[in-house]
Amino acid sequence: MKLFTLGPVQMFEETLEVRSRQIPYFRTTEFSDIMLENERLIKKRLNSLSDSKIVFLTASGTGAMEATVINCFNQNDRLLILNGGGFGKRFCEICDIHGIAYEAINLKWNEELTSEHLQKIEKPNEFTAFLVNVDETTSGQLYDLECISDFCKINGLLLIVDAISSFGADNIDMDRFGIDACIISSQKAMGLAPGLSIVILSNNIYEKKVLKQPQKTLYFDFKNHIENQKRGQTPFTPAVGILFELNDYLKRISDNKEDSPAILAKYFREKLEQNGFKYPDIPLSNALTPVMLEPDATKYYEILKDRYEMIVTPSGGDLKNVIVRVGHLGKLKKSDYDELIQAMKDIRQEIELKKEG
Ligand SMILES: *Cc1c(COP(=O)(O)O)cnc(C)c1O
């Protein structure tokens, strides 16, 4: 079985080895050292400033999205949400539930975000923050962070980035883009078990927003988490095992360039073109490639799974029979894509024969 999915993904042998070990007791200086090292290495990879803060949550990515919204904003704020798919919509739902006002910039499927979308926003400086899923995983679009960042800087908006499927696949630079909160999760490009999500906060948003919120949640209270992390601890039992997997990943990942998502994405897209398959003409994340297979996408997905033991990511709703999403995350190599392309060609031939007959 080979996973070309977006999370959980094909895991690295090293991660599986770490996973097989006994989980230790964690209120120890040894574990605190691991946590402080995790903090240092994540901040380095994200190029965040040394006074930034970090929160380790035992939750899937959505938990961290919700925690970020409720720890940073309240009824007095007005947010701008880039809604270009399922994950943009999720930010809107979170704000609806918590009574936080927002305006959505709605994009249709495969509509590219341009500076014109942002120019059209009325009274932009009256918003508090801009929320974006930098890779909108339902479409694969990688939004132009430079453009969004300039807009935020000019209008004095805080910038909240869900980089859950982008971290480890695309280049996310917190300092360069002035990102105030960056959300990442264990089961995507890092190829770890699901259950750990991490929020990195600029000192600016921490002092201006987080410290000033009245406490609204026990488990997700960022102030408490940040206070504990000063000594490398969490207020409650963390996902200890995944934090060891994370430590292993962060220490080893730079020497894995040959099979990086960027290289695999480029390789796969070239192969698609050479073999007459199509993908959208918009800026795409290295995390995935949506392959246009209308009206047979579900057929491809099912045959790949049942006959070839290859799992690509199906889509829901209107896109169900239109695309499958092929991931470039975790332990995959070029030859895996050669095999996938060959299987897709065989399936295409079979479908065409059936249609003719
Ligand atoms: C996967 C993902 C999430 C989180 O989903 P969970 O199922 O809660 O882990 C959030 N945002 C984006 C962009 C994602 O790709």
pLDDT in tens, 121-151: 999 999 999 999 999 999 999 999 999 999 9
Tell me the CA–centroid distance for residue 43 and ligand 1, in Å.
Answer: 21
Distance from the alpha carbon of residue 61 to the mean position of ligand 1, in angstroms:
5
Nearest alpha carbon, ligand 1 atom 6: 61
Return the ligand 1 atom nearest residue 133 CA. Answer: 13
Determine the average pLDDT of the residues in 68-74: 98
pLDDT of residue 253: 85
Residue bearing the CA closest to ligand 1, atom 5: 61
**Ligand 1 center to residue 345 CA distance, Å?**
31
What residue's CA is closest to ligand 1, atom 3? 61
Ligand 1 neighbours, Cβ below 6 Å, are 7, 60-62, 87, 133, 135, 137, 162, 164-165, 185
Which pLDDT score is estimated for 254?
A: 72
Atom of ligand 1 nearest to the CA of 187: 9
Average pLDDT, the chain: 97
* Top mutation candidate among 164, 166, 183, 288 for ligand 1, by most atoms within 8 Å of CB: 164
Mean pLDDT of 58-66: 98
Work out the percent of the chain whose per-residue pLDDT is above 90: 97
Average pLDDT over residues 225-252: 98
Confidence at residue 237, expressed as pLDDT on a 0 to 100 scale = 98
- C-alpha of residue 185 to centroid of ligand 1, in Å: 8
Tell how far the Cα of 48 is from the centroid of ligand 1, in angstroms. Answer: 22
Average pLDDT over residues 160-179: 97
Q: How far apart are CA 223 and CA 63, in angstroms?
A: 16
Share of the chain above pLDDT 70, in %: 99
How many angstroms does the Cα of residue 191 sit away from the middle of ligand 1?
A: 14
pLDDT above 70 (res 209): yes
pLDDT in tens, 8-57: 999 999 999 999 999 999 999 999 999 999 999 999 999 999 999 999 99
In this prediction the pTM is: 0.97
> Residue 138 Cα, ligand 1 centroid: separation in angstroms?
10
Distance of CA 353 from the midpoint of ligand 1 (Å) = 38
pLDDT tens column, 266-312: 999 999 999 999 999 999 999 999 999 999 999 999 999 999 999 99
Pocket test for ligand 1, best of 141, 165, 183, 186 (most atoms within 8 A of CB): 165
Report CA(341)–ligand 1 centroid distance (Å): 27
Q: Which atom of ligand 1 is nearest to the CA of 65?
A: 10
**Which pLDDT belongs to residue 256?**
60
Question: Average pLDDT of 110-121?
Answer: 97
Whether residue 67 has pLDDT greater than 80: yes
Q: Does the pLDDT of residue 92 top 80, yes or no? A: yes
Residue 190 has pLDDT above 90, yes or no: yes
Return the residue whose CA atom lies nearest to atom 10 of ligand 1. Answer: 61
Which pLDDT does position 258 carry in this prediction?
Answer: 82
